[in-house]
Amino acid sequence: MAKQKILYVEDDPGFIDLVTEIFEEDYEILTLSNGEQFHDTVVSFEPSLILMDVDLPGKSGWELYDVLREELNDPVTPVVFLTAHANPTEVEDAHNRGCHDYITKPFSEQALQNIVAQWLRIRAQIEAMFKRKVFFQVYIQNELQSLESEVDWVLANETLTEEGKDKLTRMKFIVKSFIETNRKESESPLPGVGKTGKDVAAQMGRKF
């Protein structure tokens, strides 16, 4: 089974080595020492969770957080800050801005492991729930398209009264409306997942 992925953004070599040692056995961990490649790395690596310092060369951790949420339109990847900023006001501000957790240095290795495991478990549960939703969306889409084809066949091959043709034509319009609505929904990001229904379906070997 593929390991869950952690991206750690930190410029202190000592903390990079420590956190890598804590997680490398159970997770696939990738580190960045600054935010220069953050955007491209998130896109290519697709981390399950991001650990990040606040004070970084170039863009700060908060600026990278905004890149994730706004530029990359990812509202859901858990972000846990590891920082020396221990002021209660800063901690409260971090939670108000939507970060999942805020851990001050120095930290307990066990507490860090527990927090990471908790957020990864929650994310996995959410993704599993939406996979079930997408499965049914795909099923409904296939059934609607099949029904549309049957209506087309009847209209083209059967002798119908004008009233019958009118009813089938209205039925086809309704079916097409449902198909289009379902398609549009499949192209919208799933809340709690950050991917579209189409993306999730493709990972399941299915398509709309």
DSSP string, 136-202: HHHHHHHHHHHHHHHHHHHHHHS---HHHHHHHHHHHHHHHHHHHHHHHHHTSBPTTT-SBHHHHHH
Domain spans of the chain? 5-107, 130-203
Domain 5-107 has CATH 3.40.50.2300: yes
**Per-residue pLDDT tens over the stretch 18-68:** 999 999 999 999 999 998 999 999 999 999 999 999 999 989 999 999 999
Rounded mean pLDDT of the chain? 85
**Per-residue pLDDT tens over the stretch 171-201:** 888 888 888 887 787 777 665 555 666 676 6
